[in-house]
C-alpha cells in the first residue's frame, strides 16, 4: 500500500453539510418561521453546558481505496470504532447520526466541536486492497486544532478487530479516561473470527442504515438485501451473536413500520434475539433487539424497558437506547419523564433531526404547541428532507388553530417528499378542517392507493379518506362507492392484521360513511377494547378519538362528549384541542348541545395558549 497519511492542511474547503442544510431550511421558511427557532438557539447558546474534556466525535472516515465499492467497509470501520468508544462510561461520545453529515477532514474543527459539544475530534481514512488494509487515525483537540495522538495501522483483513480495540484504547488514554475492567474486556471483544462473515455483516449494516434514508425508494428491497447478508454472515459463523442481534432488529423494524407487518416477521425477530442472547447473554445489542421485540412486536412496555435498561448499562453513550426508553415512557403516558430523556439523548446526538422531531411530538401531545413548533423548526433546519417533521409541524399548527401557518409549512415541503403518502394525508386533514373538500379530493387524486396513518405505521386505503371528502362535498353516490371500497379492503386486511385495533378503528369510519350505525359503533368500541389508553396512551387515544367521532355522527351525544372530556384530560394534543373542537366539522353534530357548548366555554378562548 502506498504511504498515505492524514495531515491537517490549510485552505481546504469545509463540507459542513449540516450547516448547508440548515441554511436552506431557514431560507425556505422566511423570517416568521425562523423566529421561534432562532430564539431557541440563542437561549441554548446562552445557557449551553461547558464542553467536557473527555468527549469525542468520530467523523466519517475517508475511503482511499481505488475500488469505491469498499464504501461499506470504510463506513463499518468508523461505526465499529465509534461503538467501542461508546462503551466507555468515562467518555462522552457523539452518535453517528450527528457526525455522518460532516466531511471526513473538515477545516473548521472548532466550529464542529462547538456544534457537537465535544473537546476532541477523531478523523480517519481507510485503504483496502484485497486482504490488506491500512487505517490512518488521528485525534485532534477541536478548540486548539492540534494533534493529541495519531497512528497508522497496516493489517491483514482477518486482524482488523485488533485495530478497532487499539484505537478505542488509545483515544481513551489520550483523553485520560479510566476504563473499568468490564469495559476493557468489552472493547476487546471480537464479534467473529471469520473474516468473510464479518465482511458480509458490514455490508448488511450498510444496507440496514439505508432503510431510513428519505431517498430510499424501495425500503422493502433494501431490507431483504440486508437480511440476506445477515443470514450469510450467520451461515459463515453460526456463533456470530451480533449478527443475530442485528437481524432481529431488522425484522422488528420492517414489522413495526409496515414494510413486512406479518406474524412470521416478528416471530423471526424474536427467534434471532433469543439466539443472540443464548450465544452471548451479556451482549447489549441483543438486549436492545429483544427490547424492540417486546416494544414493537407485543407492546409489552415493562418487558421492553427491562431489556433497554440492560442495554443502557453497557452502552452508556448510545443515544438510540435513550431514545427507545423515552418512546416507551411516552407510550405509557409518562411524557414529562420522556422529555428530559429525549433531551439527554440529544446531548449525545445533537444533530439528530429525529430527536428534535420526537421532542416536538411529545410537546404537542401535551398541547405545548409554541414550544413544539420550535422543536419541529429545529428538526427541519437540521434536515430539510425530513418529511415527517413537516407533517407533524403542520399537524400541531392545525390543532393550535393556526391554519395559515400549517398551509405555509406544507407549501415548503420539497416536491419529491411524500413517504407512504404521509404528506398527502396531512394536506387532506388540513383541507377538511378548513372545510375545503374540493382541495381534499384534489390532494388524494395524486396520492398512492394506501396511506400511512402516521400513528403506528398502519397503511390505510385512500378510498376511506376520499369518501369523507366527497361526503363533505355533498357527492353522496361517489362517496358511498369510496366507503364501500374502503370497507371491503379493510375487512380483507382484518383477517391477517398485526394490529387489529387499528383496522377496526378505520373500518368503523368506513361503516359510518355507509350509514351502518351498529357496525360502526361495534368496530369503534372493539378498537378501544383491543388497545385502551391505559395500555398505550398514543395509540389508545387515537382510537378513542375515532370512537367519539362515530358517536357524534350517529347521535350518541352523551357518550361522545364523555370521551372528548377524557381525551382533553389526557396527553392527546395531537388528536384533539380546544381549537379543533371549535372548528373541526367532525364535531358539527354536537354544536347545539348545551353540554358541548359549556365544555367549549370552560376551555376558554384559543388565545389561552396551552390550555386544551
Q: At what angle do helices 517-530 and 500-513 cross, to 10 degrees?
A: 160
DSSP three-state, residue 39: helix
The span from the CA of 339 to the CA of 428, in Å, is 30
Structurally, how many domains does the chain consist of? 2
In-domain check, residue 69: yes
Does residue 194 belong to any structural domain of this protein? no
Contacts of 498 (CB under 8 A, 6+ apart): 255, 261, 262, 263, 266
**Domain finish residue from 169, 189, 209:** 189
Residue 597 phi, psi (nearest 5)? -65, -40
The answer to whether the CB of 92 falls within 8 A of the CB of 348 is: yes
C-alpha Rg value of the chain to the nearest Å: 26
Question: What's the confidence (pLDDT) of residue 41?
Answer: 36
Q: Sign of dihedral through CA atoms 562, 568, 571, 572? A: positive
The CATH number assigned to the domain holding 477 equals: 1.25.40
Please report whether residue 238 resides in a domain.
Answer: no
3-state secondary structure of 66: coil
Phi, psi of 508 (to 5 degrees): -60, -40
Q: Is 46 exposed, middle or buried (0-12, 13-18, 19+ CB in 10 A)?
A: exposed
Based on DSSP, count helices (H) and strands (E) in the chain, helices before strands: 29, 8
Which grid coordinates are listed for 493? Answer: 386486511
Q: For position 215, what pLDDT does the model report?
A: 63
Q: What is the 3-state secondary structure (H, E, C) of 201-270?
A: HHHHHHHHHHCCCCCCCCHHHHHHHHHHHHHHHHHHCCCCHHHHHHHHHHHHHHHHCCCCCCHHHHHHHH
- Residues 245-269 pLDDT 10s: 999 999 999 999 888 988 999 999 9
> How much is the pLDDT for 340?
97
Domain contains 56: yes
Residue reference for cell 443475530: 244
CATH number at residue 146: 3.40.50.10070
Tell me the three cell numbers of residue 186: 468489552
In tens, the pLDDT along 126-137 reads 999 888 999 999
Q: What residue has cell string 457523539?
A: 94
CA distances from 232 to 79, 228, 243 (A): 21, 6, 10
Task: Give exposure, 271-299, as e/b (b: 16+ Cβ within 10 Å).
Answer: bbbbbbbebbeebbbbbbbbbbbbbbbeb
DSSP letter for 198, please: H
Cα–Cα–Cα angle for 222, 304, 540, rounded to 5 degrees: 90
The predicted pLDDT at position 217 comes to: 74
Range of 522's domain? Answer: 417-608
Would you state the pLDDT for residue 258?
A: 82
> Is 79 exposed, middle or buried (CB count within 10 Å of its CB: 0-12, 13-18, 19+)?
buried
Does 474 map to a domain? Answer: yes
Strands 120-129 and 55-58: parallel
CB 56 within 8 A of CB 122: yes
Would you say residue 291 lies in a domain? no
* Residue 523 included in any domain: yes
* In contact, 62 and 104? CB cutoff 8 Å: yes
Res 5: pLDDT: 29
Query: Which of 189, 206, 238 delimits the end of a domain?
Result: 189
Residues of the chain with pLDDT under 70: 1-49, 213-215, 604-612
Q: Is position 359 within any domain?
A: no
C-alpha to C-alpha distance for 571 and 268, rounded to whole angstroms? 34
Q: Of 168, 189, 210, which closes a domain?
A: 189
Q: Residue with C-alpha cell 445533537?
A: 350
Instruction: Tell which phi-psi region holds residue 452, choosing left (phi > 0), alpha (psi between -120 and 50) or beta.
Output: beta
What pLDDT, on a 0 to 100 scale, did the predictor assign at position 436?
98
Amino acid at each position: 500500500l502506498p504511504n498515505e497519511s492524514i495531515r491537517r492542511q490549510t485552505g481546504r474547503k469545509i463540507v459542513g453539510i449540516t450547516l448547508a442544510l440548515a441554511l436552506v431550511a431557514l431560507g425556505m421558511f422566511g423570517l416568521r418561521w425562523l423566529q421561534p427557532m432562532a430564539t431557541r438557539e440563542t437561549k441554548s447558546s446562552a445557557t449551553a453546558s461547558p464542553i467536557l474534556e473527555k468527549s469525542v466525535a468520530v467523523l466519517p472516515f475517508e475511503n482511499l481505496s481505488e475500488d469505491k465499492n469498499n464504501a461499506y467497509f470504510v463506513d463499518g470501520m468508523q461505526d465499529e470504532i465509534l461503538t467501542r468508544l461508546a462503551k466507555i462510561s468515562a467518555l462522552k461520545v457523539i452518535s453517528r447520526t450527528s457526525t455522518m453529515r460532516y466531511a471526513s477532514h473538515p477545516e473548521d474543527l472548532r466550529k464542529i466541536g462547538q456544534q457537537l459539544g465535544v473537546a476532541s475530534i477523531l478523523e480517519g481514512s481507510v485503504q483496502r486492497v484485497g486482504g490488506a488494509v491500512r487505517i490512518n487515525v488521528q485525534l485532534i483537540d477541536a478548540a486548539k486544532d492540534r494533534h493529541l495522538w495519531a497512528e497508522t495501522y497496516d493489517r491483514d483483513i482477518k486482524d482488523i478487530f485488533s485495530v478497532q480495540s487499539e484505537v478505542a484504547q488509545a483515544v481513551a488514554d489520550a483523553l485520560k479516561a479510566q476504563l473499568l475492567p468490564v469495559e476493557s474486556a468489552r472493547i476487546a471483544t471480537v464479534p467473529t473470527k471469520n473474516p468473510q462473515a464479518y465482511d458480509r455483516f458490514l455490508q448488511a449494516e450498510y444496507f440496514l442504515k439505508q432503510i431510513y434514508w428519505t431517498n430510499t425508494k424501495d425500503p422493502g428491497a433494501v431490507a431483504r438485501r440486508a437480511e440476506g447478508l445477515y443470514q450469510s454472515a450467520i451461515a459463515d459463523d453460526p456463533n456470530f451473536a451480533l449478527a443475530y442481534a442485528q437481524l432481529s432488529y431488522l425484522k422488528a423494524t420492517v414489522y413495526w413500520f409496515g414494510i413486512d407487518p406479518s406474524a412470521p416477521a416478528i416471530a423471526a425477530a424474536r427467534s434471532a434475539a433469543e439466539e443472540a442472547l443464548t450465544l452471548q447473554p451479556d451482549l447489549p445489542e441483543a438486549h436492545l433487539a429483544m427490547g424492540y421485540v417486546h416494544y414493537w412486536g407485543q407492546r409489552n412496555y415493562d418487558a421492553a424497558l427491562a431489556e433497554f435498561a440492560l442495554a443502557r448499562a453497557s452502552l452508556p453513550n448510545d443515544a438510540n437506547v435513550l431514545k427507545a426508553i423515552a418512546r416507551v415512557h411516552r407510550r405509557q403516558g409518562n411524557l414529562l419523564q420522556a422529555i428530559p430523556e429525549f433531551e439527554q439523548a440529544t446531548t449525545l446526538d445533537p444533530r439528530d433531526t429525529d430527536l428534535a422531531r420526537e421532542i416536538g411530538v411529545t410537546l404537542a401531545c401535551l398541547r405545548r404547541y409554541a414550544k413544539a413548533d420550535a422543536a419541529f423548526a429545529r428538526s427541519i433546519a437540521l434536515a430539510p428532507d425530513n418529511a415527517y417533521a413537516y407533517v407533524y409541524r403542520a399537524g400541531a399548527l392545525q390543532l393550535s388553530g393556526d391554519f395559515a401557518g400549517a398551509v405555509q409549512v406544507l407549501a415548503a415541503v420539497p416536491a419529491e417528499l411524500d413517504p407512504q403518502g404521509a404528506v398527502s394525508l396531512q394536506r387532506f386533514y388540513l383541507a377538511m378542517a378548513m372545510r375545503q373538500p374540493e382541495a381534499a379530493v384534489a390532494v388524494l387524486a395524486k396520492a398512492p392507493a394506501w396511506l400511512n396513518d402516521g400513528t403506528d405505521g398502519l397503511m390505510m386505503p385512500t378510498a376511506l379518506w376520499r369518501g369523507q371528502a366527497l361526503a363533505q362535498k355533498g357527492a353522496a353516490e361517489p362517496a358511498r362507492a369510496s366507503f364501500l371500497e374502503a370497507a371491503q379492503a379493510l375487512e380483507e386486511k382484518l383477517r391477517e392484521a398485526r394490529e387489529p385495533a387499528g383496522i377496526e378503528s378505520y373500518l368503523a369510519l368506513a361503516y359510518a360513511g355507509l350509514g351502518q350505525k351498529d357496525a360502526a359503533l361495534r368496530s369503534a368500541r372493539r378498537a378501544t377494547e383491543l388497545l385502551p389508553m391505559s395500555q398505550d396512551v398514543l395509540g389508545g387515544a387515537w382510537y378513542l378519538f375515532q370512537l367519539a367521532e362515530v358517536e357524534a355522527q350517529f347521535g350518541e351525544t352523551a357518550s361522545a362528549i364523555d370521551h372528548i372530556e377524557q381525551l382533553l384530560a389526557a396527553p392527546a394534543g395531537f388528536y384533539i384541542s380546544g381549537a379543533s373542537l371549535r372548528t373541526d366539522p367532525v364535531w358539527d353534530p354536537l354544536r347545539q348541545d348545551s353540554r358541548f357548548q359549556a365544555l367549549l366555554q370552560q376551555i376558554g378562548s384559543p388565545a389561552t395558549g396551552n390550555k386544551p
